[in-house]
Amino acid sequence: MQYIDSFIKYLKFERRNSEHTIVAYECDLGQFEQYLSEQGIESWAEVTAKTIRSWVVQFLEDGLSARSVNRKIASLKTFFKFLLREGVLEINPTEKVVSPKMPKRLPVFVKEVEMDFLLDQVDFGQDYSGVRDKLIIDVFYFTGMRLSELVNLKISQIDFGVGVLKILGKRNKERIVPITDVLKNSLIDYFSVRSEAFPDCVSDFVFLTNKGVKVYHKLVYRVVNKYLKMVSTVTKKSPHVIRHSFATALLNRGADLNAIKELLGHSNLSATEVYTHNSFEQLNSVYNQAHPRA
């Protein structure tokens, strides 16, 4: 059916969504279009709330998580709003579709003592890959940035004079994160080693592979997974876990929730408030261990 390609262009050029988000939309809409074809539905005007619910039920019966199902529903809602805006439809069938309730999940994080041991005691090596891998962990933990933000980080986004990083987040929204002296020294050391390893490199991207080209998501993920395994038993060992660790450490040390929201690049405070649960858990644990009548 028509309009999916136009919608993807809208996401890319008007909403400026990330490549990862656009791929997710394409996948969800492709699956829905296939389902409609199987049901003999040939136009978007024929789609009803009942059609969408039956599609959703299939995923739930197959054991897909509520989070994943909700993402697919969100994809449809955005798409049908686009069709309304374009005058293709007059009624939005997704308005009567209720998303499945999601169980509350606390963010997984690595303890401060474990991150301290990793950054202070673990030997990453002095060759290019070792210095780079150490800086990857440093940047994640000192800035709380996302995986895609680190992969696409450019030298031009670093201001050593002012001492800040300009991070381009979702929808190209820019936020400013301070560079501590420790991170500044790590960056300086890295660029020194990088210039020796790749003397002719002119790439503006900060992180490079051992072949001198921009790093990719899987490489960074493997680096983080490898080193978190050395110090932590958390079930997930991903860059996002270090982002959670960054936020939890700040909150535990008394940082203002709104300040953490800005550092993380969250659009809503509700997304940041989830970290207060982790902070309360730690406070409750300390209370139970320390109070004489606990």
Active site residue 25: no
Helix (H, G, I), strand (E, B) or coil at 154: strand
Domain ranges, ordered by start, for the chain? 4-96, 112-290
Quote the pLDDT of residue 273. Answer: 80
Closest to 244 in 3D by CA, of 50, 78, 112: 112
Q: Which of 77, 81, 111, 240 is catalytic?
A: 240
Quote the pLDDT of residue 278. Answer: 60
The two structure tokens encoding residue 163 = 């001492």
Active site residue 243: yes
Q: Which residues pair with 165 in a beta bridge?
A: 158, 177
The fold of 112-290 is hpI Integrase; Chain A (1.10.443)
Quote the pLDDT of residue 203. Answer: 95
Is-contact 166 159, C-beta < 8 A?
yes
Active site residue 277: no
Could you report the per-residue pLDDT of 171-213, keeping only the tens digit for each? Answer: 888 999 999 999 999 999 999 999 999 999 999 999 999 999 9
Q: Which of 170, 184, 214, 236 is catalytic?
A: 170
Mean pLDDT (the chain) is 91
The span from the CA of 134 to the CA of 123, in Å, is 9
251 band by pLDDT with thresholds 50, 70 and 90: confident
Quote the pLDDT of residue 69. Answer: 94
Could you report the per-residue pLDDT of 27-45, keeping only the tens digit for each? Answer: 999 999 999 999 999 999 9
Active site residue 146: yes
Q: Which residues pair with 164 in a beta bridge?
A: 159, 178
The two structure tokens encoding residue 149 = 């933000």
Q: Which of 72, 134, 146, 194 is catalytic?
A: 146
Quote the pLDDT of residue 172. Answer: 84
The span from the CA of 268 to the CA of 107, in Å, is 17
Active site residue 266: yes
Residue with tokens 């660790």: 245
Q: Enter the pTM of the model.
A: 0.66
Could you report the per-residue pLDDT of 66-120, keeping only the tens digit for each? Answer: 889 999 999 999 999 999 999 999 999 999 999 888 766 778 899 999 999 999 9
Please give the class, per CATH, of domain 4-96: mainly alpha
Task: Inform me whether the pLDDT recorded for 280 exceeds 60.
Answer: no
Quote the pLDDT of residue 101. Answer: 83
Q: Read off the DSSP letter of residue 39.
A: T
Active site residue 275: yes
Is-contact 153 140, C-beta < 8 A?
no
Is 4-96's fold the same as 112-290's?
A: no
